[in-house]
Amino acid sequence: MTFKILAVGDVVGKVGLAHLQETLHKQKQALGADLCIVNGENASEIKGICRADAETLLFAGADIITLGNHAYSAPDTGAFLDARPDVIIRPANFPATNPGYGYTIANANGTRVLCINLLGTVNLAPLDNPFLTLERILDAQKGKYDIAVLDMHAEATSEKYAIARAFDGKISVIFGTHTHVPTADLQILPGGTGYITDLGMTGPEGGIIGAKTEPVLRMLRDHMPARFSVADGRVRARAALFCVDTDTGRTTSAKQLVF
């Protein structure tokens, strides 16, 4: 059986949420997606996601929300992570004492999908080794799932691609998030893992990766403090659709989407 996974890039602000409210259900239906995973890391005006925005994203059509380095930026996120571990996960290599969980098993159309979230450690926080964390999760959940999917939220292209090579054939789909810029390397690796280094973002095309231009320039050019806000401009969603053979766990086709 072919199982279709729709992965949607980092949602930026209220405008990104509103765009998915208008488009996501239609896209899922048109594509025949069995499961939709959305990175909600920046949904609450660039940093983090509050409970209300997470609920909006779920109502818009997300089945699973993944996060990243801003997982705890909104004050009520921790409580929601603990309350709904079935639909929202944070990077698994955060300390185990932190609120929430780094993976969940979603049952969609009779297929058990192990959904995992990890945070890279190159130019980001020095969390637990993502390679070892991922090995532990796969070992602990062996026999409990049919296919596995990973959102690798990371800064470095090399780290994302290294994870993909290390776990090729062990995870059906690996997609990267965090940089907000879609990469042109969508592929199926030799072991059958569908992979893309970064999906891109769901947000406004004006500004710099979803933020207004001037505050970003003030910080980077002048090295002065600046408060970021969501940019203006046309809002687009960047995503990818992966088709997985549930008998083999291999991705059979993949394509990038803009809507």
pLDDT tens-digit readout, 19-75: 999 999 999 999 999 999 999 999 998 889 999 999 999 999 999 999 999 999 999
**β strands within 185-250, DSSP E:** 187-188, 194-196, 201-204, 235-245
**Mean per-residue pLDDT for 151-170?**
98
Write the secondary structure of 103-152 as one string of H (helix), E (strand) and C (coil).
EEEEEECCEEEEEEEEECCCCCCCCCCHHHHHHHHHHHCCCCCCEEEEEE
pLDDT at 115 over 90: yes
Percent of the chain exceeding pLDDT 90 equals 93
- Can you give the residue ranges of every domain in the chain? 2-206+235-258
User: What's the CATH code, domain 2-206+235-258?
Assistant: 3.60.21.10
Buried b (16+ CB within 10 A) or exposed e, 217-234: eeeeeeeeebebebbeee
Angle at 143 between CA 140 and CA 146, to 5 degrees: 115
pTM above 0.85, yes or no: yes
Sign of the torsion formed by the C-alpha atoms of 197, 199, 205 and 208: negative
Which of the residues are catalytic?
70
Percent of the chain exceeding pLDDT 70 equals 100
Q: How many CB atoms lie within 10 A of CB 71?
A: 26
pLDDT tens-digit readout, 197-214: 999 999 999 999 999 999
pLDDT value of position 225 = 87
Q: How far apart are CA 17 and CA 114, in angstroms?
A: 25
Enumerate residues 6+ apart whose C-beta is below 8 A from 132.
none
pLDDT at 215 over 90: no
pLDDT-derived band of residue 246, with 50, 70 and 90 as boundaries? very high
**Mean per-residue pLDDT for 88-111?**
97
Q: Mean pLDDT across the chain, nearest whole number?
A: 97
pLDDT at 89 over 90: yes
**Mean per-residue pLDDT for 218-230?**
89
